[in-house]
Amino acid sequence: MESEAYKSDSPAGSGAWEVIDFLLRLLAIGATVVAAVVMARDKQTVETLIGPIYAKYHYSPANVFFVAANVIACVYCVFAINNTVANILTKRSPAFSKLLRGFFDLIMAALLSAGVGAALAIGDVARKGNSHALWNERCSLFERFCHHGAIAIAASFVATVVFILLTTFSLYSLYQRSR
């Protein structure tokens, strides 16, 4: 007889939830890798009359935080996907495991959301400038740099939504188990 901590939701339903979990985690890994790599490699040099002007992601602490948040979420997801694969192979889905994954998925969603917000704020100032602070827009000068930053932010936003979905699925699965 299985203990309560190791009961599956249902023989048929548990496997389907775990496969969805696995696919969403693969999507999260892909999105966070794309976001981190595109932003970390984002740089552009523009030649002017007074010399070259450089734009690099690490000139902004917000962009450095963005890359760090995506790397942390990606590493977590690699570890979590191993747990998901173990659950699929053993056809077991411990409630405590689901609870922990749901909790850390929520933390990753919050971390990625903060990273997206920080990078988006810097990107907005680069795109529009801020006349009140006398900051000029920079995206007309560094078009490729801004475009790559936008791609990275979009990929990270996708990962944020995926982590929110993973949290929701974990909570729903635990709710189903409690009924």
User: Is 134 contained in some domain?
Assistant: yes
Q: Is residue 75 part of a domain?
A: yes
CA distances from 128 to 44, 104, 139 (A): 19, 35, 8
Q: What angle do CA 35, 40, 46 make, to 5 degrees?
A: 120
Query: How many of the other CB atoms lie within 10 Å of CB of 62?
Result: 17
The model's confidence at residue 92, banded by pLDDT at 50, 70 and 90, is confident
Instruction: Indicate whether 110 belongs to any domain.
Output: yes
Q: Is residue 140 part of a domain?
A: yes
Task: Say which amino acid occupies 42.
Answer: D
Q: What element of type H or E holds 52? A: strand 51-56
Q: Regarding predicted confidence, which is higher, 106 or 7?
A: 106
pLDDT band at 12 (very low <50, low <70, confident <90, very high): very low
- Residue 66 domain flag: yes
> pLDDT tens for residues 128-167?
887 888 788 888 888 898 899 999 999 999 999 999 999 9
Residue closest to 60 by CA, chosen among 132, 118, 116, 111: 118
Return the closest-CA partner of residue 110 out of 161, 46, 45. 161
What's the domain count of the chain?
1
Domain that holds residue 54: 8-178
Whether this model's pTM surpasses 0.75: yes
Whether 92 is covered by a domain: the verdict is yes
- Does 82 fall in a domain? yes
Identify whether the C-beta of residue 145 lies closer than 8 Å to the C-beta of residue 55. yes
Domain contains 51? yes
Average pLDDT, the chain: 87
